[in-house]
Amino acid sequence: MVNYTVTFQPVNRSIKVEAGSTLLEAAHQAGIHINSSCGGTGVCGKCRIKVESGTTTGGRSEKLTEEDYLNGIRLACSTLVKSDVTLRLIDETGLLDGGLSVDVPRRHRAMLHYFDIEELRRQGIFIPPVEKMFLELPRPRADDNMADAGRIVLGLKNQYDERRLVISLAVMRKIRRVLREHDFKVTVTLARPVHRHGKTHVVNIQSGNWVERNFGLAIDIGTTTVWGRLIDLHSGRILAAAGDYNGQLSYGEDVISRIIQAEKPRGLKLMQELVAATINKVIARMLAESEIGREEIDSVTLAGNTTMTHLFLRLEPDNIRRAPYVPVSTFFPPIRATDLGLHLPEHAIALLYPSISSYVGGDIVAGVMGSGMYRTDKLTLFVDIGTNAEIVIGSREWLVCAACSAGPAFEGGGITHGMRAAAGAISDCSLHPRSYEPMLTTIDNKPPVGICGSGLLIIVAALFERGLLDQRGKFVRDREIARIRQGKSGYEFVLVNRDEAGTNHDIVINEVDIQNFIRAKAAIFAGVKTLIEEVGLQVSDIEQIILAGAFGSYIDLDSAMTVGLLPEVNLDKILYVGNGSLMGAGMSELSNHIRLDVVEVVQRMTSFELSEVNNFKDQYVASLFLPHTDWTIFPEAKKRITS
Amino acid sequence: MVNYTVTFQPVNRSIKVEAGSTLLEAAHQAGIHINSSCGGTGVCGKCRIKVESGTTTGGRSEKLTEEDYLNGIRLACSTLVKSDVTLRLIDETGLLDGGLSVDVPRRHRAMLHYFDIEELRRQGIFIPPVEKMFLELPRPRADDNMADAGRIVLGLKNQYDERRLVISLAVMRKIRRVLREHDFKVTVTLARPVHRHGKTHVVNIQSGNWVERNFGLAIDIGTTTVWGRLIDLHSGRILAAAGDYNGQLSYGEDVISRIIQAEKPRGLKLMQELVAATINKVIARMLAESEIGREEIDSVTLAGNTTMTHLFLRLEPDNIRRAPYVPVSTFFPPIRATDLGLHLPEHAIALLYPSISSYVGGDIVAGVMGSGMYRTDKLTLFVDIGTNAEIVIGSREWLVCAACSAGPAFEGGGITHGMRAAAGAISDCSLHPRSYEPMLTTIDNKPPVGICGSGLLIIVAALFERGLLDQRGKFVRDREIARIRQGKSGYEFVLVNRDEAGTNHDIVINEVDIQNFIRAKAAIFAGVKTLIEEVGLQVSDIEQIILAGAFGSYIDLDSAMTVGLLPEVNLDKILYVGNGSLMGAGMSELSNHIRLDVVEVVQRMTSFELSEVNNFKDQYVASLFLPHTDWTIFPEAKKRITS
C-alpha cells in the first residue's frame, strides 16, 4: 500500500494517508474540520478546499464553477489523493481564527493484531496438531520380523523420538500394502493428543514422501456468516479464505430463533445439516481456490458461539434460551469430521473449541487463545461487542468472563435512523467547535441514509464533547443551536437535511436514540466494572484491551472512552484481533500447545451470570451516564470535556 | 459331586472316586492293573473282579455265567460305583504275587486353576473396565447453571472421585433429556482407559438406577471353535457360556488355509463376516440363556491367535504364512463393537488381546494374563499344546516365548490309528508289569477305534517304562513279546485285537507312529530348553508349569515327564487353566488392572523365532530320544525306568 503525505494549510498540519483516500478522509484523520453534510457525495458542496500542489483526481461538482476548478478549488469529499498533496482550507465562514478552531478529534482505531506464524515459531510452539513424517524403514528379515505396525512405531521412535502412539484400525487395514508399495518408505500422519499424557494417533499412511502436503482448516461458525481458512500446516501459511452466509439464516437472524427452530420436530437435524452444508460450501471454495485435494485435509478446528456449536454437533440447545441457561456441554471430544457431515477424509478429526457457558462461547475462547491473552502478564480486557457483548478479564494467572445483553444499538438497531454498516451509513462525524456544523463520512461515500453503530458512537461522543449533551444524554435546552430542534420523540439533532440525504427525510439523532445507546454502553461497562470488582480490582488496573468482532475495527477509541464504553487505557494498549474466533481456530491448527492449553484455560475461566451478581444492577444504573456517574474513572475524558 | 471310596483287595488299597465311575476307572486311578483290551465295553471279558461289599450297578456280560454274577463277579469295565465299595482282584493268571505286580502308574493330571473372582477381590483389582455409577445430581439453579455434561463430570468427581473424564458425542446427544426424565438421577456407564494416564470415557447414560445391570462378554476366537462367556460385571459371576464352530471352518481347518482364502478377492471380507456371524450366534445364545437384553452389554474382550485376530479385524494376514512371518499388527486399539459387525449396542467397546508374533497370539497372551503367570515370582513354563505349541517362560520379571511346530501327533494326526479325542479313542492304557497285557479305557467307554493324543502319550510312556521301547523309540528285538510283531511299517505293538475292537482291524502302534510322536514332543521340549538357555538358565530352574488348551487337561503328567515332553517339576506345581484364552478375556472384563498390565507384559515379552536360534537344531536332535539324550535332565524318570 502506497502512502502519501497530505499537508493542510494554513494550519500547516501533515498526515500520511493511503493512495486513493479522499481529502475529506485525510482531514478526518488529521483532526481537521471541514463542513460536509452529504457524506462525501458532492451534493452539499460545503467541503470546498484549494489544492495548491500535488496530483489529485475527482473533486468536480455542479456546486463548483469552471473558474473555481481551474483555480484548484475542489470538493474534499470526492478528491482522491494520487501523490503528496498540499491543500488550503477556505475560510468562507471566517472560522479559521488562528487555525485552532478547525481542530476536531483525530480518529484512533485499535492496532490490528495479526495471525502470526513467526511468533509461534519464535516461541517454539509451531507444532501442528497434525504432522506428517517420512519414514525409511528397514525391510523385514528373518531376525527382524516385527509386525508392520510395530515397525512403524519403532521407526517413529528412532527417527523422530515419537512415543505413546496408537495406530487406528483404518490405518492398520492398509499398512501392509502401503509399506511394500515403495520399499518401506512411507509418510505417516500423526494426530497429537488434545490432553496432556494422551496418545498420539497415527491416522494415515501413504507410500513415498508427502510431508509437505499437510493441510488443515480453521472454521468460524458465525450466527450470520461462516468463515474459513485453509492452512498449510507444513509452512504455516494461509492458502485460502472464504466465507458464506450460514444456511440457517432463513430460520432467523439470532440464536434464539435458531433454538426455537431446533426444538421443532426434526428441526435440530435440519439446523445441523444446514450449517454443515454451509461449511462444506466454504471448504469447497477454498479447495478450488488453492487447488488442493479434499483428501489432503488432515484436520479441522471449528469455533462458534455456544448455540452454533450445539447445532453443529446436534446437541439439544433447548435450555440455552431458558433460565437458568444450561447448555448440554461446554467441552467436546475430538470427532471424526465425516460423522458431522463434513466432506473430508475419514481420518480427518474435527476439534470444536470449548465454550464457557450458554452465552460465552467457543468463539470467545478461541479469541482469548488466538490473541494470546491467556499468556500475557498484563491485566487485559477482551471484549467482543455485538447484540451480546462478551467480556473476558484477566491474564495468565486467572480469567473471568460474562456476557452482557447490550441490545442491538451497536448494530444500528433500536435507533430511529439506525442501520447496519452498509453503503450510505454515517460512519464518522465531527462537529465544528463553534458552529456545530457536521463533517460527515459515509460508508462507500454514498449519500447518507442512516447511522451505523460506529457512527452512532462517534456522534454521541461528539455531541457530548461539544457540550450539546449533558451527562444524562439530554440535549442542552438553554442555548439556541441551529441543528437542535424538538422532534416527534423529543429533542433531536439534525445530522443531514433531507435535500442532502440519500433518503426522503432528515437524518436525526434524538434523545430516545441516545438513551438506547447509553443503555447499551452501560450494560457493557457495568459488566466490565462488576467483573473486575468481583476479583477485588479496579477498572483503572486494566492495562490492555483486546477488541474482537466486526464492530471492533470501527470503534473510534477516544469516542469509546468519552462516552464510557471502554475504560481508559493508553491507545497503544488497545489491540484489534478481527475475527477472534477464526484466528483462534487457525492458531489451534498450527500449535498443539494451544489445543493443550485451552483445556486448562477454560477450566480456570470463571464465568459470572451478571444478573446473579448483587452489585451489577447498581453498576448498571451508575453507568447510565456519559461517561459515568463517577468522573474519576474517566480522568482523560474529563480533561477533554472540560477543555 | 459325591465321592465314594473303592477298596481293592487283596492289596488293601483305597481310592476315592466320583459316584458313577467304573471300577476300571477306579483301578486306573489307584494304579492297579486289571487286564482289559476292549476299552471297557464288556467284549473281551478280561476285567473280572469280585464285589465283596457295597452297591454297584452293571457289570453283567455274556462272558459271565449267572453263577458268577450271583457270586459278585463283575466286569470292572462296566460296573458303576454307587456307594463305598470293596472288591477283590481275581488272580486268574497267578500274577498277584504279593500284590506288587498289580502296580501300574497312577494317573496325575494338572490341577485345574479356576477363573477366580474372589482372588481378584482379595487383591483389590476387581475393577471392571466398564462400570456403572448412580448419580443424584442437584437441579440447575440460577447460581449453579453449569452445563449438563459438566454437572455429570462434577458429580462423578464429588461422589466417586472420578477424574479425567471424556463424554462421548453420542452420550451428549441424549444427556439433556435423560437427566430430566428422573429428576437428575441417572446411571452413567464409565469405560476405563486401556493405558495409564488415559481418560475414562462416559459411554452411556440412563435415567434412574441401573448399576446392577452391567454385563460384559469374553470371547475366545478359536480356529475351530468360538467360545463365549457372559459375565455379570457387577457381581463378577459368569451367567452363561456357549460355543460354536467357527464359521470359517468350511474354508479349511488350519490357519494357513484360512489365510489362503483371505488372499482371494473378497476373501478377507468373507472371513471377517463368517467369524463375526459365529460370534453373534454365540452371543445370541448366551443372551437367550441368561435373559439379558442385548442393549445391556457394555463391553466385550476377545482373544484369538494372530491369524484369527487379523481375520476378525479385517487385517491382511498374507505375511503371517510367508517368511519372515510378519503380521500387520500385534496390538490393537479399542474398537466400537458395531464397527466389527457385532450385534451389540453402539457404545460397547471391543478390546482385542494383543499378540506377540505371527504364531504366538492373543490367545496365549490372554492365558499368561488370566493364569496370573505374569505376576508370579516362580519361574514358570506356560505351554499350550496343539499342532503349534506355544511356549512362554518367565515370571513377573521377564518373559520369553516361542511357537514350536509340533505337528499334528497330539491331535491324533500322522499316527497310523490316530484319531481325535472322540468316542472310542483309547485315552488311557496301562501294561501289566510282566505279561504286558493292556488295561485300556476309551472315551465314552465305546469299543476302541483308535488312539487319541493323550492316549498316545500314555501308551508310549508305558511301552518305554515297561522296557519294550528303547530310548530311540525302537521296540526291543531281543525278547519274544506276544503283542509285539513285525507289521507293514516295521515293528508294532498290538493294543486291541480286531475281535475286541470297534473297527475291522487290529489297533496297533508302530515305530513310525512313535517316531512321529517323538518328533512332536522333541519340538516342544527343544523349544523349552532353547528358550530357557537363551536367558542363561537351565530346565531344572523351572518351578511351575501351566498347561493350557484342550489337550492340557488330559495329559498324564508322569507320562509327559517319562517321555520328555515336559520338564520335571513337582506334580503339585503343574496347573491347568483350560481355555486360557477365554479365561484371560474374562479376567480382562473384570479387572482393568489386567488390561493395563497387558500392554507392559506384551512389551517385555521377548519372542524368539526358534528356527533363527543357532542352538535350536542341536537341542531338537538331542530331544529325539526318550526322554532325552541327557538323562540328567530327567532324574525322576530315570529312577522309574531303572526300577
Q: Do A147 and B197 touch (CB under 8 A)?
A: no
Nearest CB to B612; choose among A142, A319, A333: A142
Q: Give the pLDDT of residue B92.
A: 57
Q: Give the pLDDT of residue A93.
A: 53
DSSP B531: H
Q: Give the pLDDT of residue A478.
A: 86
Q: What is the mean pLDDT of residues A486-501?
A: 92
Within this chain, do residues A251 and A308 fall inside the same structural domain, yes or no? Answer: yes
CB A613 within 8 A of CB A534: yes
B301 to chain A nearest CA, in Å? 16
Within this chain, do residues A22 and A99 fall inside the same structural domain, yes or no? Answer: yes
Cα–Cα distance between B77 and B65 in angstroms, integer? 17
B174 to chain A nearest CA, in Å? 8
Within this chain, do residues A376 and A353 fall inside the same structural domain, yes or no? Answer: no
Cβ burial of B598 (10 Å; 0-12, 13-18, 19+) is buried
Q: Is the pLDDT of residue A38 over 90?
A: no
pLDDT tens, residue by residue, A280-326: 999 999 999 999 999 999 999 999 999 999 999 999 999 999 999 99
Q: Do A148 and B323 touch (CB under 8 A)?
A: no
CB A298 within 8 A of CB A130: yes
CATH number of the structural domain spanning residue A58: 3.10.20.30
Secondary element (H or E) of residue A528:
helix A511-534
A623 to chain B nearest CA, in Å? 24
Q: Give the pLDDT of residue B544.
A: 96
Within this chain, do residues B345 and B229 fall inside the same structural domain, yes or no? Answer: yes
Q: Do A328 and B166 touch (CB under 8 A)?
A: no
Distance from first CA to last CA of chain B, Å, rounded?
Answer: 37
Residue B118 lies in a domain: no
Residue A34 lies in a domain: yes
CATH number of the structural domain spanning residue A254: 3.30.420.480
Residue found by looking up cell 438513551 in the block: A515
Using a CB-CB cut-off of 8 Å, the residues of chain B touching A359 are none
Within this chain, do residues B202 and B221 fall inside the same structural domain, yes or no? Answer: no
Model-level pTM?
Answer: 0.87
**The three cell numbers locating residue B52:** 465283596
Nearest CB to A328; choose among B149, B316, B330: B149
Within this chain, do residues A279 and A375 fall inside the same structural domain, yes or no? Answer: no
Q: Do A169 and B335 touch (CB under 8 A)?
A: yes
Residue B503 lies in a domain: yes
Residue A612 lies in a domain: yes
Q: Do A147 and B357 touch (CB under 8 A)?
A: yes
Secondary structure string (H, E, C) spanning A285-318: HHHHHHCCCHHHEEEEEEEECHHHHHHHHCCCCH
CB A41 within 8 A of CB A446: yes
pLDDT, greater one: A573 or B196: A573
Q: Do A145 and B198 touch (CB under 8 A)?
A: no
Interface of A with B in 320-339 (CB under 8 A): 323-333, 335, 339
For chain A, say whether B103 makes contact (Cβ under 8 Å). no
Within this chain, do residues B473 and B413 fall inside the same structural domain, yes or no? Answer: yes
Determine the structural domain holding residue B428 and report its residue range. Answer: 409-515
Categorize the per-residue pLDDT at A90 as very low, low, confident or very high, splitting at 50, 70 and 90: confident
Q: Do B142 and A324 touch (CB under 8 A)?
A: yes
B612 to chain A nearest CA, in Å? 7
CATH number of the structural domain spanning residue B133: 3.10.20.880
Within this chain, do residues A395 and A533 fall inside the same structural domain, yes or no? Answer: yes
Categorize the per-residue pLDDT at A94 as very low, low, confident or very high, splitting at 50, 70 and 90: low
Cα–Cα distance between B510 and B491 in angstroms, integer? 6
Secondary element (H or E) of residue A191:
strand A185-191
Residue from B596, B155, B181, B154 nearest B369 by CA:
B596
Q: What is the mean pLDDT of residues A346-369?
A: 96
Cα–Cα distance between A277 and A256 in angstroms, integer? 21
A-chain residue closest to B165, CA distance:
A333
Q: Do B326 and A168 touch (CB under 8 A)?
A: no
Q: Is the pLDDT of residue A547 over 50?
A: yes
Interface of A with B in 163-222 (CB under 8 A): 164, 166-169, 172-173, 175-177, 195, 197-199
- In sign, the C-alpha dihedral spanning B199, B204, B207, B211 is negative
Interface of B with A in 503-532 (CB under 8 A): none
Please report the number of interchain residue pairs, chain A to chain B, with beta-carbon separation below 8 angstroms.
138
B178 to chain A nearest CA, in Å? 11
Within this chain, do residues A345 and A372 fall inside the same structural domain, yes or no? Answer: no
Name the average pLDDT for chain A.
Answer: 92
Cα–Cα distances in angstroms (integers) from residue A552 to residues A242, A382, A521, B247, B318, in the given order: 20, 11, 14, 67, 62
User: Radius of gyration over alpha carbons of chain A, in Å?
Assistant: 28
Residue A257 lies in a domain: yes
- In sign, the C-alpha dihedral spanning A276, A277, A282, A284 is positive
Using a CB-CB cut-off of 8 Å, the residues of chain A touching B150 are 329-331
Q: Of B464, B497, B515, which residue constitutes the final position of a domain?
A: B515
Listed in sequence order, the residues at least 6 apart from A44 whose beta carbon sits closer than 8 Å to its beta carbon are: A35, A36, A37, A38, A63, A500
Q: Give the pLDDT of residue B554.
A: 87
Cα–Cα distance between A229 and A587 in angstroms, integer? 11
Categorize the per-residue pLDDT at A100 as very low, low, confident or very high, splitting at 50, 70 and 90: very low
Interface mutation vs chain B, best among A139, A145, A146, A313, most B CBs within 10 Å: A145
Listed in sequence order, the residues at least 6 apart from B64 whose beta carbon sits closer than 8 Å to its beta carbon are: B45, B48, B73, B74, B75
Residue A567 lies in a domain: yes
Cα–Cα distance between A303 and A582 in angstroms, integer? 7
Listed in sequence order, the residues at least 6 apart from B189 whose beta carbon sits closer than 8 Å to its beta carbon are: B130, B131, B132, B202, B203, B204, B205, B206, B214, B298, B347
Cα–Cα distance between B199 and B195 in angstroms, integer? 9
Torsion angles phi and psi, residue A78, rounded to 5: -120, 15
B168 to chain A nearest CA, in Å? 7
Which segments of B481-606 does DSSP mark as H helices, in order?
Answer: 511-534, 557-562, 580-590, 592-603
- With the CA atoms of B6, B12, B15 and B17 taken in that order, what torsion angle do they form, in degrees rounded to the nearest 10? -20
Cα–Cα distance between B75 and B521 in angstroms, integer? 36
pLDDT, greater one: B474 or A12: B474
List beta partners, residue B574: B545
Cα–Cα distance between A438 and A392 in angstroms, integer? 36
Nearest CB to A315; choose among B172, B323, B324: B172
Interface of B with A in 348-367 (CB under 8 A): 355, 357-358
Q: Of B152, B179, B207, which residue constitutes the final position of a domain?
A: B207
Residues of chain B with pLDDT under 70: 1, 91-101, 114-115
Torsion angles phi and psi, residue B597, rounded to 5: -65, -35
Cα–Cα distance between B221 and A504 in angstroms, integer? 84
Strand ranges, E, within A406-437: 425-431
A191 to chain B nearest CA, in Å? 15
Q: Of B515, B539, B572, which residue constitutes the final position of a domain?
A: B515
Q: Give the pLDDT of residue A115.
A: 65
Using a CB-CB cut-off of 8 Å, the residues of chain B touching A198 are 197-199
Q: How many domains does chain B have?
A: 4
CATH number of the structural domain spanning residue A380: 3.30.420.40
Please give the share of chain A, as a percent, with pLDDT higher than 90.
Answer: 73
User: Radius of gyration over alpha carbons of chain B, in Å?
Assistant: 28
In chain A, DSSP finds a helix count (H) and a strand count (E) of 16, 30
Within this chain, do residues A483 and A569 fall inside the same structural domain, yes or no? Answer: no
Q: Do B326 and A146 touch (CB under 8 A)?
A: yes
Residue A112 lies in a domain: no
Could you give the count of Cα atoms lying within 13 Å of B51 in the half-sphere of its Cβ? 29
**The three cell numbers locating residue B585:** 478375556
B-chain residue closest to A310, CA distance:
B173
Residue A272: count of CB within 10 angstroms of its CB: 20
Within this chain, do residues A271 and A343 fall inside the same structural domain, yes or no? Answer: yes
B314 to chain A nearest CA, in Å? 7
Residue A268: count of CB within 10 angstroms of its CB: 21
Residue B64 lies in a domain: yes
Q: What is the largest CA-CA distance in chain B?
A: 102
Categorize the per-residue pLDDT at A99 as very low, low, confident or very high, splitting at 50, 70 and 90: very low
Within this chain, do residues B262 and B315 fall inside the same structural domain, yes or no? Answer: yes
Give DSSP secondary structure letters for B77-118: GGEEE-S-EEEEE--TTS--SSSGGGB-PPP--PEE----HH
Interface of B with A in 145-174 (CB under 8 A): 145-150, 164, 166-169, 172-173
